[in-house]
Amino acid sequence: MSYFLTLNFRMFIMCVMNLFDSLETANKQIPLAETLRPKTLDEYLGQNQIVGNNAAFINLLRSGRLFSCIFWGPPGCGKTTLARLIATKTSSEFIELSAVNSGIKDIKECVEKSKENLRYNKKTIIFIDEIHRYSKTQQDALLPYLENGTFYLIGSTTENPSFQVVPALLSRVQVLMLQPIDDDNIANIVQKGFTYLSQKHGPIVLKQEVIDFIVKYASGDARLALNLVENSYFAADFKDNKRSLTLEILESLAQEKRVKYSRQEHYDMASAFQKSMRGSDKDAAIYWLAKMISAGEDPRFIARRLMVCAAEDVGLADPNALCIAVNAYRAVEHLGLPEGRIPLALAVAYVCDAPKSNAAICAVDDALSDIASGLDYPPPMHLRDAHYKDAQKYGFGKGYVYTHDNPEYKQQFLPDELKDKKYFH
């Protein structure tokens, strides 16, 4: 009797657990971006330089060739999706890890699974999201298995692999740079999202300006676009079994979007900023200035770039530019932001409008190059310091003519070996 009671109790517990599992599955809300993830390469939008007709990458896949690679690109550009499609296309087992919460123990488990697959002539792809977060030790742990072909690695990162991935791993993978998805394809993705929701939950009325707003807001990020599509669909006015989405509702949902700004973009924006000033393009320089400010860049860093440009690119053509750039730096230190944007903008405009001369930087770099190449000589005897006891005994300062007493007198200031050298041109 007790046996049957125990058995019935176990069955009861199992039923309860199954019920909770069913409830959890029913309550689980799968994001639209995950639901609409492409199932085939034909459905994949964007990245034509990689998946377009006759692209080298596609030709390799068609030939059944796999290789380890790292996808480098901004969020929402399709890195994970492309990795999954590659696994499907090549009939490989796809094992997904995140560098945020995995480590060497997980890598070892993947190695054992990959070895088991090899026994059945099946390929394994290990996908590591945010691979730049792996430590050097964790990245090194992948090396021997890539070397002997135990598995193929596909990593994804938003950071420049040249700075974040160890050289030994970089030498074993191909880095493929993915771009933000272009506006036309983002618009297609947005339309696809609204179509899916309309078919599943009922029609919605929206104007082209709504699509345009989401495309602009997404800035090439498909995930961000679909998240806004999903939220705005359910936030739309609902009357007579029909939804109506206005631009006002969309704007209230979107709020202020933070400018994307990775570590690599920190350097890219600074480069574009300085090159725009060098090219005397005030409008472009102000745009990059505004983008750096919007992204939360340290205004002192911006001011330092200004000083560099004033010295390097304006230089002797207008020495006052450096004074203005230095004063802008001081003003930013005293004011901070947002007021500091004003002296920065003033200095940017001045540097852009100023005539340009790189004679100073070319001269000092030329001299440094000479010294580094072995043209390293002491001062001539007549130029050496003679203000101490015994200096004259060594001949130091002998023959030097005080310039203020005889400004017309020509004397040699360079070493004999370089007496005719010209650094300023």
Q: Is pLDDT above 80 for 64?
A: no
**In whole angstroms, how far apart are CA 382 and each of 396, 407, 415?**
6, 17, 11
Residue 93 is inside which H or E element, if any?
A: strand 93-98
Give the model's pLDDT for residue 7: 44
Residue 303 C-beta-side C-alpha neighbours within 13 Å = 24
Q: Is pLDDT above 60 for 397?
A: yes
Domain 183-254: assigned CATH number: 1.10.8.60
Architecture per CATH, 47-177? 3-Layer(aba) Sandwich (3.40)
Give the model's pLDDT for residue 110: 93
User: Pick the residue with more confidence: 8 or 89?
Assistant: 89
Residue 9 binned pLDDT confidence (cut-offs 50, 70, 90): low
Residue 24 binned pLDDT confidence (cut-offs 50, 70, 90): very low
Q: Please list the alpha-helical segments (H only) found in 259-358.
A: 263-278, 282-294, 299-309, 320-335, 341-353
Break the chain into its structural domains and give their ranges.
47-177, 183-254, 263-357, 365-418
Ranked by mean pLDDT, the top range of 136-140, 162-166, 241-245 is: 136-140
CA distance 102 to 39: 26
Residue type, 258: R
CA distance 380 to 417: 10
Give the model's pLDDT for residue 356: 96
Asked, as a colleague might, if the bond just before 380 is cis with ω within 30 of 0, I would say no
**In whole angstroms, how far apart are CA 48 and each of 191, 221, 242, 330, 342?**
20, 16, 37, 47, 41
Strands (E), 106-250: 124-129, 152-157, 174-177, 204-206, 237-239, 242-245
* DSSP secondary structure string for all residues of 195-234: HHHHHHH--EEE-HHHHHHHHHHHTT-HHHHHHHHHHHHH
Pairing of strands 237-239, 242-245: antiparallel
User: Pick the residue with more confidence: 400 or 151?
Assistant: 151
For the segment 267-323, what is each residue's pLDDT rounded down to a tens digit? 888 999 999 999 999 999 999 999 999 888 889 999 999 999 999 999 999 999 999
Give the model's pLDDT for residue 400: 86
Task: For tokens 């480069």, name the residue.
Answer: 271
Residue 196 binned pLDDT confidence (cut-offs 50, 70, 90): very high
Whole-model pTM: value is 0.69
Residue 130 binned pLDDT confidence (cut-offs 50, 70, 90): very high
For the segment 412-423, what is each residue's pLDDT rounded down to a tens digit? 889 989 988 999
CA distance 340 to 331: 7
CA distance 131 to 141: 13
Residue 401 is inside which H or E element, if any?
A: none
Architecture per CATH, 263-357? Up-down Bundle (1.20)
- Asked if 177 and 73 count as a contact pair (C-beta separation under 8 A), the reply is yes
What is the arrangement of strands in the sheet containing 69-72, beginning at the earlier edge strand?
93-98, 124-129, 152-157, 69-72, 174-177
Give the model's pLDDT for residue 156: 94
Give the model's pLDDT for residue 12: 57
Pairing of strands 174-177, 69-72: parallel
Residue 353 binned pLDDT confidence (cut-offs 50, 70, 90): very high
Give the model's pLDDT for residue 226: 94
For the segment 90-103, what is each residue's pLDDT rounded down to a tens digit? 889 999 999 999 89
Residue 28 binned pLDDT confidence (cut-offs 50, 70, 90): low
**In whole angstroms, how far apart are CA 95 and each of 86, 114, 120, 188?**
12, 9, 17, 30
- What average pLDDT does range 186-198 have in this prediction? 93
Average pLDDT of the chain is 87
Ranked by mean pLDDT, the top range of 247-261, 287-301, 374-388 is: 287-301
CB atoms within 10 A of CB 23: 10
Torsion angle, alpha carbons of 215, 217, 223, 228, to 10: -90
User: Pick the residue with more confidence: 60 or 149?
Assistant: 149
Q: Is pLDDT above 70 for 234?
A: yes
- Asked if 145 and 151 count as a contact pair (C-beta separation under 8 A), the reply is yes
Bridge partners for 154 per DSSP: 69, 127
Task: For tokens 């003679």, name the residue.
Answer: 386
User: Pick the residue with more confidence: 387 or 90?
Assistant: 90
Q: Is pLDDT above 60 for 8?
A: no
- What average pLDDT does range 373-380 have in this prediction? 88
Give the model's pLDDT for residue 23: 47
User: Pick the residue with more confidence: 95 or 253?
Assistant: 95
Give the model's pLDDT for residue 14: 59
Given this chain, do its domains 47-177 and 263-357 carry the same CATH topology? no
